[in-house]
Structure 1
Amino acid sequence: MSRTALSTFLTLAIAARFALAQPDPADPTPLVDKTYSYPGGIPYQVDYNTAAIRGPQTGYNICNSTTENQESLCQTSFVNQIDDFCLWAPASPNSTIADTEQSEVAWCTKNGHGTRVIPPGALTGVQYLRTPNYVQIAGYLDQTKLDIAAGDYGGELDPHGADLRGNPLGGLMYSNVYPSSNTDNNTYTQIIDWNSFIGGNIFCIKICDPSSSSSDQTEYCQNIYDELGCSYNMPNNGQNGTFEVCDADNMYPVGIYTSGGQTLTYSQPYTGVVSPPYTATPPASSNCVQYASDALYSATASSSTSAGASPTGTSGSSGSGSSSGTSGTGSGSGSSGAASVGVSAAAGLAGVAFAMAIFA
């Protein structure tokens, strides 16, 4: 399939998917159309309409030293480097993602963002991939340390949702990976297209380059395969116990696969069994550098992580092998709920967390 044909397919698929999504009349502006410069342009709350069906927003977007504690309700998140990123997770212990997707708060690996800090030891393996069009972070974690109930297989968080107001409502994403000035890595740029899965003691999060074409962002940060989890949305070779940064090729867009010499497409059904006819393949990676976890994630509620962790070793390149990783079969909290499709428990992280089937 040509690049033009692929972009056309994805545009039509997303249009069909979101034809079922309806803006809330009380807050009709989609979250992806709400843009704010950092930090001065951010309002206290992005989604503040009390008349909205799923509202109002439970947290806030102006976050600083006064909001930085383990009770923070900050809903402004960041994805920067392997030692500096945030995950969306509940604000109250023993919660499920399905019950709290609209109200998740930011948990970050280091101080300085005005958020909660991911407790030491919560992250047990992380792979950070730099590709031409996006940055992807995937890994293993003890989710109970981020207030997620043990056994919850979680779901997807993204800036869309059934009412286009996002999950969480009003959740903003910023990064210094794509600064407005290439010489200033202190400049934070709003990330419009991103998605994340968490649950089943794994997570994955991807941000697309906001300066790339809209078709590229549609290809790599789409949100129409919310029930396929990390294994298809963000295939990778991450390992539990390993913390590494790699260069990587772009992944093959979700739903596009080859069989018998033909390029075919798979569309996630709105109801019924989700059973993709192919196994996702992680993109080829290279220049992988491994780090010691305690050099990356030593932050606590009162001390900051060192920004310049020293590598402990360099691993070789990895070709685009078959997708493999953690699997599970228990019931999740979402409407689809459980484990990843078609993966083994033998090797790297391919994903468990399915999303709830509300176009999350």
Structure 2
Amino acid sequence: MRVTQTLPLFLAGAATVLAQEAVTAESFNAAQDRYFNKTWDPTKDLPDKSQNNQIGTNKCGTDSSDTSMCQNLFINSATDFCLYSNPSPGIISDHEAEGVSYCTKSGRGTRTIPAGTITSATFVKTPSYVQVTGLGDFTRINVQAGDDGGEYDFGAASGEGNPKGNLVFSCSDKKCTQRHRWMLFLSDKQYCLRACEDGPNSEAMCRHTYDRLGCEWNMPGDYIEGHFQNCESDDAPDVMFHDGKQYVQGDGPLDDSTVPPAHPAPALRNCVPVKEADLYGHLTGDVFGGTKGLKVAPGAGDAAKGGALPSNATTKGDLPAKNGTTIGTPVLDAGSMNSTANGTVADSPSTAGNQTISANSVIGIEASYRIGLGLLASFSALLAGCVLL
């Protein structure tokens, strides 16, 4: 038997992708160990670089500039937070490993977000994470106009995170803590950032594997023009599970037939409006003092006590076009192997474990997932076209 049909061009390109993105189990796990086994304090001496292959720095000082390569990110309140973006104009997904920090306030050695860029910001503190969501014109921080965006997160295919060398902190009541698990989506018009407190809920609350579904699916919340506020809420539902079933993002088209609806946004409470003008300016005094008084009791939350989202708030994510426009690069969470090209809801939910590659693996999680699904689809098509001689 021989096959007369030539291999699809997709397979011809797979080797190139593998060569570019290959990572051994040892290098991946070593990178994650360096990241998770060390907890940094921004009030003390940070390293010049915290990961291999890092283009920027974590030793940022206090002098902000438009050319800073600082990769420290802070999320403290609706008026004091940072976003990663391109160091020069471009497409987010092309430069995720190279992102640098842009902050609303100067004084921590980062680049600054120009006044007027952000047109809404809702900061939420929950028992397990802090989050900020909103809108803006992010072409002003080097996002190409029309870019649907991408995802920055702590893992990536290499284990070094995107950007490589990321350190994310949250400061309040004169204390800063590193948030090892976090995720940030940014497009030319929308952003969302969540940083999870280290603990038993961090994996479920900071799942970074649904990178094609964007902000409103991953972080349902307030994306309303002109809203600037600090709030509290309960934890959001785990995005991996819908109606008792586990959803796994695939590599094919995403639409209402393949993707479950976004969870409703948790009701907001104790919201305090802030002025847009207060987002910008220079930090004085203790630049790592953070926000005072934002507290939330674990398990607290009664929608009747205030703060449900306004009726016109967006709580269901707008799915990408049916052609499956990719935002970022798919990542596979360990324990989520029941995927298909279009995404599935598995019948037997299970808790995903930590990302670990088997000792014999020679490709990264992202590369193996993306290429594995494509190879299966291509191989099936190839068999269907075989001619037996």
Same fold (TM > 0.5)? yes
Amino acid at match of 1:323: T
* Structure ID, larger Rg: 2
Q: Is residue 245 of structure 2 the alignment partner of residue 264 of structure 1?
A: yes
Residue 96 of structure 2, aligned match among 86, 89, 101: 101
> What are the residue-to-residue correspondences of 1:264-343 with 2, within 5 Å?
264-269=245-250, 271-274=251-254, 275-294=258-277, 296-299=278-281, 317-318=307-308, 323-324=315-316, 329=321, 334=328
Q: Which residue of 1 aligns with 2:131?
A: 136
Aligned residue in 1 for 2:27: 25
Match status 1:149 vs 2:144:
yes
Aligned to 2:40: 36
Task: Return the match for 1:205 from 170, 193, 201.
Answer: 193
Count of residue pairs the alignment pairs up = 289
User: Structure 1 CA distance, aligned partners of 2:252 and 2:28?
Assistant: 32
Gaps of 5+ in 2: 1-21, 293-304, 331-365, 371-389
Which structure: greater helix fraction? 2
Q: Is the 8 A contact 1:284 1:320 kept in 2?
A: no
Q: Distance in 2 between matches of 1:23 and 1:101?
A: 22
What pairs with 1:174-253 in structure 2 (closer than 5 Å)? 174-177=169-172, 185-210=173-198, 213=199, 215-253=200-238
**Hey, what does 1:119 align to over in structure 2?**
114
* Contact 1:152–1:332 under 8 Å retained in 2: no
Return the alpha-carbon distance in structure 2 between the equivalents of residues 88 and 326 of structure 1.
22
Query: For residue 62 of structure 1, what is the aligned residue in structure 2?
Result: 59
- How far did 1:102 drift? 0.3
**1:249 is paired with a residue of what secondary structure?**
coil
Give the aligned residue type for 2:79. Answer: D
Aligned pair partner of 2:81 in 80, 85, 93 = 85
* CA offset digits 1:22-56 (Å, max 9, x no partner): 556398231333432333342111124xxxxxxx2
1-structure distance, mates of 2:234, 2:180: 21
CA contact (8 A) 2:262 2:317 kept: no
1:174 deviates by 1.1
CA distance in 1, matches of 2:214, 2:269: 24
Q: Distance in 2 between matches of 1:248 and 1:168?
A: 29
Instruction: Letter of the 1:128 partner, please give it.
Output: F
Q: Please state whether the residue corresponding to 1:25 is helix, strand or coil.
A: helix
Q: Secondary structure at the match of 1:149?
A: coil
Q: CA deviation at 1:225?
A: 1.8
Cα pair 1:96 1:333 within 8 Å, conserved: no
8 A Cα contact 1:281 1:320, kept in partner: no
C-alpha displacement of 1:246? 1.5
Shift of 1:293: 0.4
The alpha-carbon deviation at position 191 of structure 1 amounts to 1.1
**Secondary structure at 1:156's aligned position in 2?**
strand
Partners of 2:212 and 2:326 within 8 A in 1:
no
What is the TM-score when the length of structure 2 is the normalising length?
A: 0.67
Q: Distance in 2 between matches of 1:85 and 1:159?
A: 17
CA RMSD of the aligned region, Å? 3.2
Matches of 1:140 and 1:328, distance apart in 2: 18
Instruction: Tell me which residue corresponds to 1:47.
Output: 51
* CA distance in 1 between partners of 2:202 and 2:28 (Å): 28
| Contiguous gaps of at least 5 residues in structure 1 | 1-19, 49-55, 178-184, 310-314, 337-356
TM-score by length of 1: 0.72
